Amino acid sequence: MEAEHSHNSRQVPHEYPILRYAGDSALIVEFGQSFDLQTNNAALAFDSMLRECTNSARTPCLLSITETAPTFRSVLIRFDPLAPEVEKLPAWVQDMAFSKNWREAPPPEDRRHWRIPAVYGGTAGPDLASTADAMGCSETDLISAHAATRLRVLMVGFAPGFVYLGQLDETWNLPRLEGIKPQVPTGSISVAIRQTVMSATPSPTGWRTIARTAFQNFDPLSKPPVHLGAGDEISFEPVNTLDFKSKLNLSPSPIP
Amino acid sequence: MRSLIALSPGPFVSVQDLGRPGWQRHGIVAGGAMDPLAFAEGSALLDANSKTATALEFIAPGGCYTVKGGPVRFALTGAIMTATLNDKPLKWATSFWITPGDILDLRPSSQTHSGVWGYLHAGGGFDVPQLFESRATHITAGFGGHEGRCLRSGDRLPIGKDQSLTQGGDHLTGLSLPLRDFCKSGDIRVLPGPQFHLFSEELRERFLRTEFRISPARNRMGTRLDFEGEPFRTKTALTEPSDAVSSGDIQCTGQGVPIVLLAEHQPTGGYPRIATVITADLAKVAQCPIGTPIRFRLVDISEARAALKKLRSNILNLPNARLPVQMRTHLHHVQPRE
């Protein structure tokens, strides 16, 4: 543990965490410049702490918080700028951010593991062949490698239920496509820069779409409307066909 | 059941309310009305609670509508358009009845500086399904409001029970509010953005000196800004990790073009944000027509708070600002507009 800590301290510039103002109604706490698992853990742990504190609300300024949202490397804190004692919020957040080394925090509790069936290639994954070419491997090897990697939800963003999953090994460090595809369907699974993204609404993409699932991570009629949360883990399971017209229900297993 | 029939709606008409804050962790932004003050004005004219009210939001032309199943109270607020009921002129920012067979027509105004987003409230509200605490249409994601989309010809929107009708009263309709002054030009107040530090002193100063114009590339997600001169490009514009963004953020794209993010912005983005428009001035940006010259003025947090306090108190005082339509016409003659 000691050794690992000193290793981290060397890697991360000492100025983090950094508190940034984002307009009159939000603060952003950054735990690092770029993505790595410990930075992501720090953001998720800090977000969990905020949610717990906001629910119990022992500190009056916390009543001003209207929502929090973790990203790859930071936490957004939105608040009502006219709430009582709101002016004390930045100092409280700053104190909490420096109260311990959040990068040593374990991944969040109540994480789940999802096995998500996906059809690779064909109309479901139109960029499979060109992506295999770019990686210098066969389509079959690409599919096995992608399905063999247990991926983690690093962030929910860009669109409702849209998830960023990481992290694939260095061979997947491919640039995004030059053009933007105006629309890929719900459930499209695309790769670039060692990450995988999965869409939950029809959306534009500059990523390489290699597969598609019938699992819909965004369903406005369900509670909550989005199933996957940051910290959850995913294994894709290659299948030959899926009925993309009907909703696929999945039961995740808890991660001990 | 009473309903509104869209005979020939304009190109961009959607059901909105005050949005669904609190879901950004799921990739869902608050959305809702582009101009919350104009939205609240419509609620005030109908004595409705703006927290539970719904309205049609539109750009000009708003289109043609009628009702079925019984008379309905309506109010028109926001961007000023030319409104007629059965070809007779209607005053803007007023409440009125529409009975079955009547035709409401909302056309572009001949006035300039008349705003962009208009609102049509119905007494009883539009009874579309509530999806996680809101009836607002999220157009890009295709959910909420009426079938998750803008209205089309023939759409029928059910109208809820109008509580004010059962209570009765003297002024169910025929009330008016003062016409707003929309942005002709001028200052939009900003705070430093979360990536202010990535922009050089020269870029920051030039950003605050530059006269921008509202570009035709605008929608509910945001508005691009046109300008003359060098782009506002940071060295790291394309390599910053995506982070949570907020409405009002002014992001500078890879080409160095500023975009002001508005109600239906994406929840995350990687472009550096040089400044953030204060909450009180957001609707002002949204209501600036294409070509409007604007400048950004850096203020501090206390000015941002004071401006929001004033806006909220204006909203709370709207019921007191209502007058019968006839008296408003009289006042226009004796009181020069601001």
Which H, E and C letters describe B298-315, residue by residue?
ECCHHHHHHHHHHHHHHH
pLDDT tens column, B182-207 = 877 779 999 999 999 999 999 999 99
Question: Smallest Cα–Cα separation from B120: which of B106, B102, B133, B131?
Answer: B106
Instruction: Flag if B24 and A34 touch (Cβ within 8 Å).
Output: no
Chain A neighbors of B312, CB-CB under 8 A? 82
Burial A81-102 (b: 16+ CB within 10 A, else e): bebeebeebbeebeebbeeeeb
Question: Smallest Cα–Cα separation from B141: which of B270, B264, B271?
Answer: B264
Residues 68-87 of A with CB under 8 A from B: 68-74, 76, 78, 81-82
Between the alpha carbon of residue B183 and those of residues B216, B284, B286, the distances in Å are 16, 6, 9
What single string gives the DSSP state of each residue in chain A? Answer: -HHHHHHHHHHS-TT-SEEEE-SSSEEEEE--SS--HHHHHHHHHHHHHHHHHHHH--SGGGGGEEEEEE-SSEEEEEE-TTSTTGGGHHHHHHHHHTSS-GGGPPPPSS-EEEEEEEEESTTTSTTHHHHHHHHTS-HHHHHHHHHHS-EEEEEE-SSTT-EEEE---GGG-PPPPSSPEEEE-TTEEEEETTEEEE-SSSEEE-SEEEEE-S--SB-TTSSSSB---TT-EEEEEE-S---TTSPPP---EE--
pLDDT of residue B180: 87
Instruction: With a cut of 90, say whether residue B110 has pLDDT above it.
Output: no
Question: What's the whole-number average pLDDT of chain B?
Answer: 93
pLDDT of residue A68: 97
% of chain A beyond a pLDDT of 90: 82
- Specify the DSSP element, H or E, that contains B318: helix B318-321
Does the CB of A207 have a partner CB in chain B at under 8 Å? no
Chain B neighbors of A17, CB-CB under 8 A? none
> Given CA atoms B197, B202, B204, B207 in this order, what sign does their dihedral have?
negative
Query: What single-letter amino acid sits at A224?
Result: P
Chain A neighbors of B249, CB-CB under 8 A? 22-23
Instruction: Flag if B194 and A20 touch (Cβ within 8 Å).
Output: yes
Tokens of B223: 């508005």
CA distance A162 to B171: 48
Instruction: Flag if B279 and A66 touch (Cβ within 8 Å).
Output: no
Name the residue among A76, A161, A218 with its Cβ closest to that of B244.
Answer: A76
The residue with tokens 């003297």 is B170
* Residues 6 or more apart in contact with residue B157 via CB below 8 angstroms: B3, B4, B6, B15, B126, B127, B128, B146, B151
**What is the pLDDT averaged over residues B17-43?**
97
Instruction: With a cut of 90, say whether residue B12 has pLDDT above it.
Output: yes
Query: What single-letter amino acid sits at A118?
Result: A
Q: Please, are residues B34 and B283 in contact by the beta-carbon 8 Å criterion?
A: yes
Q: Please, are residues A78 and A66 in contact by the beta-carbon 8 Å criterion?
A: yes
Helix (H, G, I), strand (E, B) or coil at B187: strand
Confidence of residue B237 (pLDDT cuts 50, 70, 90): low
Chain A neighbors of B140, CB-CB under 8 A? 159, 201
Residue B243 distance to chain A (closest CA, Å) = 6
Chain A neighbors of B27, CB-CB under 8 A? 156-162, 200, 218, 226
Question: Smallest Cα–Cα separation from A137: which of A168, A164, A116, A163?
Answer: A168
Q: Please, are residues B188 and B285 in contact by the beta-carbon 8 Å criterion?
A: yes
Question: Smallest Cα–Cα separation from B80: which of B166, B178, B154, B160?
Answer: B178
Torsion of CA B94, B100, B101, B106, to 10 degrees: 30
Residue A140 distance to chain B (closest CA, Å) = 31
Tokens of B320: 């007191």
Confidence of residue B165 (pLDDT cuts 50, 70, 90): confident
Instruction: Flag if B243 and A162 touch (Cβ within 8 Å).
Output: no
CA distance B126 to A81: 31
**What is the pLDDT averaged over residues A112-133?**
98
Q: Please, are residues A35 and A72 in contact by the beta-carbon 8 Å criterion?
A: yes
Bridge partner residues of A153 (DSSP) = A165
Please give the ipTM for the structure prediction. 0.94
pLDDT of residue A109: 87
Question: Smallest Cα–Cα separation from A74: which of A37, A32, A14, A15?
Answer: A32
The residue with tokens 């008296």 is B327
- Specify the DSSP element, H or E, that contains B94: strand B94-98
Helix (H, G, I), strand (E, B) or coil at B286: helix
pLDDT of residue A9: 39
pLDDT of residue A14: 59
Instruction: With a cut of 80, say whether residue B15 has pLDDT above it.
Output: yes
Residue A211 distance to chain B (closest CA, Å) = 21
Does the CB of A218 have a partner CB in chain B at under 8 Å? yes
Instruction: Flag if B22 and A66 touch (Cβ within 8 Å).
Output: yes
Helix (H, G, I), strand (E, B) or coil at B246: coil
**What is the pLDDT averaged over residues B242-257?**
94
Instruction: Flag if A21 and B244 touch (Cβ within 8 Å).
Output: no
Q: Please, are residues B20 and B132 in contact by the beta-carbon 8 Å criterion?
A: yes
**What is the pLDDT averaged over residues B253-271?**
94
Helices A128-135, A139-148: inter-axial angle, 10-degree rounding: 90
Instruction: Flag if A24 and B140 touch (Cβ within 8 Å).
Output: no
Question: What's the whole-number average pLDDT of chain A?
Answer: 92
Instruction: Flag if B24 and A78 touch (Cβ within 8 Å).
Output: yes
Taking the CA of residue A247 as centre, how many other CA atoms within 13 Å lie in the half-sphere pointing to its CB? Answer: 9
Instruction: Flag if B244 and A221 touch (Cβ within 8 Å).
Output: no
Burial A103-122 (b: 16+ CB within 10 A, else e): bebebbeebbebebbbbbbe
The residue with tokens 């599919």 is A143
pLDDT of residue B336: 41
Query: What single-letter amino acid sits at A120?
Result: Y
pLDDT of residue B335: 42
Confidence of residue A25 (pLDDT cuts 50, 70, 90): very high
pLDDT tens column, B34-79 = 999 999 999 999 999 999 999 999 999 999 999 999 999 999 999 9
Residue among B26, B135, B146 with most chain A CBs within 10 A, to mutate: B26
Instruction: With a cut of 60, say whether residue A22 has pLDDT above it.
Output: yes
Residue among A24, A198, A227 with most chain B CBs within 10 A, to mutate: A24
Instruction: Flag if A66 and B312 touch (Cβ within 8 Å).
Output: no
Instruction: Flag if B27 and A226 touch (Cβ within 8 Å).
Output: yes
Does the CB of A157 have a partner CB in chain B at under 8 Å? yes
pLDDT of residue A5: 37
Nearest residue in A to B148, CA atom? A220
